Amino acid sequence: MKPRALVLAPMRGQEWNRLRELIDVHYDPADHRPHQAAELARQLADTGSRILITEADEVAGPVLDLPLLVVGCARSEAGNVDLPVATAKGIPVVCAPGRDADAVAELTLALILAVTRRVAVGDREVRRGMASYRRHRAWELAGRTVGLIGYGAVGRAVAWRMKGLGMRVMVYDPEAAENRYGLDVLLAQADVVSVHTPASAGRLVGAVEFATMKPGAIFVNTVDAALHDMDALVGALKAGHLGGAALDRFAGEWLDPAHPLADMDNVVLTPHLGSGTYDTEINHTRMICEDIVRILGGERPLHCANPNFQE
C-alpha cells in the first residue's frame, strides 16, 4: 500500500504531481489557525497518515510519538518542530531554506518605497478627492545607505535590489563574510534599516538601538515582531527621531486598530505578506517533495533540518 500523507501546507507544481503518484494524500491547505500538537496528532491518526507536510502547526509531543516516516516543513527553518525529539526518534525533518527569499525581498523593496514616497498616504488622499502632491516631496533612495541586519538568503536578495537602486549597502551579520560593521555603526549611518535575521535571534532593536539610528531613518521589519521593541518604536516615531517605519509581522499576527501605529501616516503596515506568493509555494513544494521521494527511496534528503541526523 502507498503511504498516506496529511498535507496542511499549500503545494503546487510538477513535483507535487509526481509525489502524489507515489503516496496517498489527505490535502487540507485551507487557511486555518495552526494546529496544536494534540489536535494534529488526532488528525494524523484519523487519516492514517505517516507523512506530514506542515507550515506552522505544532509538531511535538504526541505528534512525534506516532510512527512518522518524515515531516516536511514548508518554511525556511523548521521552527515549529521539536527537532531534538524528532531526531532522537529517527524521524527526518525536511524544510525549504530560502523558499521565500525573493518574495520577502520584493515586499521589503515595496515597503521601503511605500514609506519614503508616501505611496499609501497618497493613495488614500486621491480616493478622498485630495491631490496636493507638494506636501509629499521626499528624498530619493539613490545615493543613500541601507543597513541590513541579517544576511542570509533574504538579506542577499534585498542587497542586490538596493544596489540596483543606487544605494550603498551595509551589513551586520556576525555569520556572514560581508559583515564589516558593528551594529551601532550601521544604525548610525543607515538611512534605511531593514531586519532579516532569523526570529530565533530574539530582540535586537530596542530603545537604545532606535536612539542610535540616524535622525529621519526608516525602520523595516518583515521577519518577526519579537525582533524589535514595539513601544520603543512608537516612542521614536512620536518623538520625530525616526522618519517612518514599515512592518509586515505582529505579535499574534494581529494589530489592535487602536494601536498608535495605525494613526501614523509615516508608517506602512501589512498582514504578513512577505512569503505570500505562488512562487514561494512552488519553491517549497519542489524542495520538500524531492526530499520525501529521496527518503522513500532510501536516500539522504538534501534539506534535512535535524542536527547531525543519521538515517
Which positions are catalytic? 253, 272
**How far is Cα 258 from Cα 255, in angstroms, rounded to an integer?**
8
**Cross-strand bridge partners of residue 219:** 193, 245
**How far is Cα 118 from Cα 99, in angstroms, rounded to an integer?**
30
> What are the grid coordinates assigned to 117, written together?
514616497
Cα separation values, 202 from 97, 124, 206, 253, 287, Å = 20, 35, 11, 17, 28
88: alpha, beta or left? (left if phi > 0; alpha if psi -120 to 50):
alpha
Inter-residue contact 59 to 71 (CB < 8 Å): yes
- Among 160, 21, 157, smallest CA distance to 76 is for 157
- Among 197, 253, 205, smallest CA distance to 231 is for 205
**How far is Cα 89 from Cα 279, in angstroms, rounded to an integer?**
33
26 by Cβ neighbours in 10 Å (0-12 / 13-18 / 19+) ranks as middle
Task: Map grid coordinates 491547505 to a residue.
Answer: 29
